[in-house]
Amino acid sequence: MNVAVVWIDREHAQLYLISNEKMERQSFHHHHKENHRHVRDSVEKNKEERGLFQDVGRALEGADQILILGPGMAKHHFRNFMNEQMPMLAKKISGVETVDHPSDAQIAALARDFYDKVSA
């Protein structure tokens, strides 16, 4: 079984693809235009966030189950994006959990614990 764990915030995401043999990590960053404005408007921020979500969503296509993690609201925004834009893939979302900034080893342990509870 291919399990995917997404750790996401407003600026970037880490995607962990976990199989019985290995764990691979991919990093994603939102694409914002460099400019000298100090305040980006909400439309621009939303557009940047959606670009990040699209990149991560495309990378999830081989996953059997998806766990979404993160410290703030971006994890919920990502789930909503998946429900709207990639509904077949969204059906594979097993959970959304709040975590701060875990290490790779902590991500693996969180995924293992979560899926042990789900499958029990």
**pLDDT, tens only, 45-71:** 565 678 899 999 999 988 999 999 999
pLDDT at 74: 92
What residues form DSSP beta bridges with 75? none
* Residues contacting 119, CB < 8 A, separation 6+: none
Q: At what angle do helices 74-85 and 42-59 cross, to 10 degrees?
A: 70
Q: Which of 21-25, 57-61, 68-72, 116-120 has the lowest mean pLDDT?
A: 116-120
Q: Domains along the chain? A: 3-119 (3.30.420.60)
What is the length of the chain?
120
**pLDDT, tens only, 73-116:** 999 999 999 999 999 999 999 999 999 989 988 988 888 887 77
pLDDT at 31: 60
- Of residues 39 and 111, more confidence is placed in 111
- The secondary structure of residue 36, as a DSSP letter, is S
